[in-house]
């Protein structure tokens, strides 16, 4: 094994974007819906997909099964171990040192950052989802009072959370007006939102004026701001998730000192890389992408390393619901990065010392810098 692969296999990771997992006993069909971004069952099992292969090889091995076992064997072994023991084994196999957890989605069905940290016996930090924050506050304040209430809530979150996340890509698209809306515009949008909530009994926020107001409030705190980009569930209209749409917004908030993180990025890895290249305050990851590309993960890693500087890449699993997604994310990141860097070294395009230094940055150093959390030492 090369020195680079050896180093990458053991370097501790900061997972800068992930979610909690469920500790419920899952039926086969329930498990299957957590190994896909699709909310539906298809003609064939989701075990017969690129990530299905990862589960039946990498995860199977960690749970004491032969590689390339069947879906039935996998589910039987998992049931035998129980969800807690399976999670403990899979999380221990990741080499993730620190978790930065998005608490915004289905927060009650999955474990909290503290529970995830306890299961993995590692530190865990929380990220606040802006749209969820607004949905929690709005029912208790008038439309007139909403601008100040949102600003205060975002500011207050900085005492308990290390950053913010926005899903405006899903709810509207990334092609929003980059300029901060006035209070008058926010109040008018809030009145329409409240009337809609009254009619539908749902506080789901999809108003672009209020969402972009939240983005500006978050940027003003100077804390890191994550954007969902690209690949996601069936709600995400892909051409509206192209991060190029953020270009003017990124220029607009640069003076605040806010650091922006582009999450997942598939299939817009090159567009994200360009933004990381030109803007000093933009970083990216290819979490989620690696898991769902499975055996093709290397093609995404190769693209991610094309134009973005090495100080701009972070590791993320984007695991949600299942510990398998943490294991797959970590293993595919390590393998694909080793594949690319070994190839560069073999062709004398990079020296080994540089390669090792960049690996440490991408594994944990860049994330520690962006989020202001402790550096990890191998």
Write down the least CB distance from residue 240 to Zn ion, Å: 18
Indicate the residue among 52 and 287 with the shorter CB distance to Zn ion.
287
Q: What one-character DSSP code corresponds to residue 78?
A: H
Determine the Cα–Cα distance for residues 210 and 253; give it in Å rounded to an integer: 17
Query: CA nearest 285: which of 245, 234, 228, 241?
Result: 228
Indicate the residue among 16 and 46 with the shorter CB distance to Zn ion.
16
Q: Site residues for Zn ion, window 1-20 (CB under 5 A)?
A: none
Write down the least CB distance from residue 94 to Zn ion, Å: 16
Kindly write out the interface string for residues 306-345 of this chain, putting x where it contacts Zn ion by CB under 5 A and - elsewhere. ------------x---------------------------
**Please, are residues 75 and 31 in contact by the beta-carbon 8 Å criterion?**
yes
Q: Which residue is nearest to Zn ion (CB)?
A: 318
Indicate the residue among 101 and 138 with the shorter CB distance to Zn ion.
101
Write down the least CB distance from residue 349 to Zn ion, Å: 33
Kindly write out the interface string for residues 348-377 of this chain, putting x where it contacts Zn ion by CB under 5 A and - elsewhere. ------------------------------
Write down the least CB distance from residue 369 to Zn ion, Å: 21
Indicate the residue among 7 and 19 with the shorter CB distance to Zn ion.
19
Count the residues of the shown chain that bind Zn ion, applying the rule CB under 5 A: 1
Write down the least CB distance from residue 17 to Zn ion, Å: 6
Indicate the residue among 303 and 318 with the shorter CB distance to Zn ion.
318
Q: What is the DSSP string of 273-285?
A: HHHHHH-TTEEEE
Write down the least CB distance from residue 269 to Zn ion, Å: 17
What's the distance, Cα to Cα, between the start and end of the chain in Å?
Answer: 19
Write down the least CB distance from residue 263 to Zn ion, Å: 6
Kindly write out the interface string for residues 77-96 of this chain, putting x where it contacts Zn ion by CB under 5 A and - elsewhere. --------------------
Write down the least CB distance from residue 231 to Zn ion, Å: 10
Write down the least CB distance from residue 129 to Zn ion, Å: 10
**Please, are residues 96 and 13 in contact by the beta-carbon 8 Å criterion?**
yes
Kindly write out the interface string for residues 267-306 of this chain, putting x where it contacts Zn ion by CB under 5 A and - elsewhere. ----------------------------------------
Instruction: Show Cβ contacts of residue 260 under 8 Å, excluding neighbours closer than 6 positions.
Output: 224, 225, 226, 227, 246, 250, 253, 279, 281, 282, 283
**Please, are residues 173 and 246 in contact by the beta-carbon 8 Å criterion?**
no
Indicate the residue among 271 and 318 with the shorter CB distance to Zn ion.
318
Alpha helical stretches, state H, 174-296: 183-200, 208-221, 247-253, 269-278, 289-293
Indicate the residue among 4 and 297 with the shorter CB distance to Zn ion.
297
**Please, are residues 291 and 329 in contact by the beta-carbon 8 Å criterion?**
yes
Kindly write out the interface string for residues 234-253 of this chain, putting x where it contacts Zn ion by CB under 5 A and - elsewhere. --------------------
**Please, are residues 226 and 17 in contact by the beta-carbon 8 Å criterion?**
yes
Indicate the residue among 101 and 214 with the shorter CB distance to Zn ion.
101
Interface with Zn ion includes 207 (CB under 5 A)? no
- Beta bridge partners, 225, equal 164, 260
With the C-alpha atoms ordered 212, 214, 217, 218, is the resulting torsion angle positive or negative? negative
Instruction: Give burial (CB, 10 Å; 0-12/13-18/19+) of 25.
Output: exposed
Indicate the residue among 175 and 318 with the shorter CB distance to Zn ion.
318
What is the side-by-side strand order in the sheet with 225-229?
Answer: 13-18, 96-102, 124-129, 163-166, 225-229, 260-264, 282-285, 313-314
By CB under 5 A, name the binding residues for Zn ion: 318
């Amino acid at each position: 094994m090369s020195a680079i692969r050896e180093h990458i296999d053991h370097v501790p990771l900061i997972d800068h974007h992930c979610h909690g997992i469920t500790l419920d006993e899952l039926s086969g069909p329930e498990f299957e819906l957590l190994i896909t971004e699709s909310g539906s069952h298809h003609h064939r099992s989701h075990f017969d997909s690129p990530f299905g292969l990862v589960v039946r090889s990498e995860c199977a091995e960690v749970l004491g099964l032969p590689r390339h076992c069947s879906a039935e064997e996998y589910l039987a072994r998992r049931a035998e171990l129980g969800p807690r023991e399976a999670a403990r084994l899979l999380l221990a196999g990741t080499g993730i040192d620190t978790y930065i957890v998005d608490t915004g989605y289905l927060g009650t069905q999955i474990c909290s950052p503290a529970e995830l940290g306890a299961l993995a016996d590692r530190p865990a930090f929380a990220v606040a989802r802006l749209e969820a924050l607004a949905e929690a506050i709005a029912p208790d304040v008038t439309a007139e009072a909403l601008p100040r209430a949102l600003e205060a809530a975002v500011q207050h979150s900085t005492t308990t959370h290390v950053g913010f996340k926005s899903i405006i890509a899903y709810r509207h698209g990334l092609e929003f007006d980059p300029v901060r809306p006035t209070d008058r515009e926010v109040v008018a949008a809030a009145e329409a939102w409240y009337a809609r909530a009254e009619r539908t009994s749902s506080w789901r926020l999809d108003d672009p004026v209020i969402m972009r107001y939240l983005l500006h409030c978050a940027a003003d705190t100077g804390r890191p701001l994550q954007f969902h980009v690209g690949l996601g569930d069936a709600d995400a209209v892909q051409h509206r998730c192209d991060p190029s749409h953020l270009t003017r917004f990124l220029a607009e908030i640069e003076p605040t000192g806010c650091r922006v993180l582009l999450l997942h990025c598939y299939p817009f890895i090159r567009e994200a890389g360009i933004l990381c290249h030109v803007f000093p305050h933009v970083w990216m990851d290819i979490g989620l992408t690696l898991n769902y590309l499975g055996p093709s993960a290397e093609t995404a890693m190769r693209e991610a390393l094309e134009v973005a500087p090495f100080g701009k890449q972070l590791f993320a699993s984007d695991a949600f619901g299942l510990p398998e997604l943490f294991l797959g994310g970590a293993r595919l990141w390590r393998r694909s990065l080793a594949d690319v860097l070994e190839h560069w070294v073999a062709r004398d395009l990079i020296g080994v010392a540089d390669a090792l230094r960049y690996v440490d940055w991408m594994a944990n150093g860049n994330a520690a810098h962006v989020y202001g959390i402790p550096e990890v030492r191998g």
